[in-house]
Amino acid sequence: MPTEHLFVDGALAAANMAQRIAALLADAIAARGVATIALSGGRSPKPVLEALSQVALDWDKVIVTLVDERWVAPDHADSNERLIRENLLRGKAAAARFVPMKNDAADAYAGQAECEATFAALPWPLDIILLGMGEDGHTASLFPEAGELAEGLSTQAHVLAVTPPAAPHQRMSLSAAAILASRHIFLQIGGAAKKAVYDRALAGGPVEELPIRVALCQHGVSVEVWISQ
């Protein structure tokens, strides 16, 4: 059962979550001399990233990467790399090392092999994975109905290219195996609709129906869920 943190106020949830993430990063640095964190994109992480960027930490010992990426230029408004650079990699956190998912390949499928080589070279298991969730139960870019979902749930590769059924842009995503090759997972959800999907996911059922079950319906990796109403 995941550890739940329930907040009425989203800003308070973000500030507390940032402190908790920073504490785990500091523990990892103390234990292994390096800390690794993979971050999701979308709207939810922004306040957490802003708060985290101001926390005093040995940021030069932190490797920051992505849970998924839209296959767009790094300066595109929809780029998760841009989200991280603009909201986390500034202030105290500017010293962190960022490992992007997007490379120069024309599309995500052509870029998959190079991205896999980059991610295979990271120090697995990653210390922290920050997941979001869509109201369809997707996480990372593991979307229900996506043609690559079965591959994403079964491959031992770290990353795969995905074309979402409805969301814009081709994606590169961590696989389910990579998400579970971590020491700790944070799931950030906001609003009643997502809380209802979360509760349904916890009740059990096919992972293909609600891919967030990859993280919720397992016992190998500790999971904490930060819920703001």
Ligand X SMILES: O=C(O)[C@H](O)[C@@H](O)[C@H](O)[C@H](O)COP(=O)(O)O
Tell which positions 63-82 bind ligand X, by CB under 6 A: 67-68, 80
What minimum distance in Å lies between the beta carbon of 33 and ligand X?
Answer: 28
Peptide bond into 123 cis (omega under 30): no
Q: Which is it for the CA torsion 52, 143, 81, 60, positive or negative?
A: positive
Residue 71 near residue 111 (C-beta atoms within 8 A)? yes
Give the nearer residue to ligand X in terms of CB position, either 82 or 138. 138
CB atoms within 10 A of CB 92: 14
Nearest position to ligand X, beta carbon: 132
**Could you tell me the smallest distance in angstroms from the CB atom of residue 62 to ligand X?**
20
Residue number, 20 or 169, with CB nearest to ligand X: 169
CB of 137 to ligand X, least distance (A): 10
HSE-up of residue 48 (Cα within 13 Å, Cβ side)? 29
Give Cα separations from 107 to 1, 125, 127, 160, 181 (angstroms).
38, 27, 29, 12, 26
CB of 30 to ligand X, least distance (A): 29
- In terms of C-beta density within 10 A (0-12 exposed, 13-18 middle, 19 or more buried), how is residue 21 classed? buried
Q: Does 10 bind ligand X (CB under 6 A)?
A: no
- Footprint of ligand X on 129-188 (CB under 6 A): 132-134, 138-140
Q: Which residues between 14 and 53 bind ligand X (CB under 6 A)?
A: 40-44
Residue with smaller CB distance to ligand X, 41 or 100: 41
- Total residues at interface with ligand X (CB under 6 A): 14
Binding site for ligand X (CB under 6 A): 40-44, 67-68, 80, 132-134, 138-140
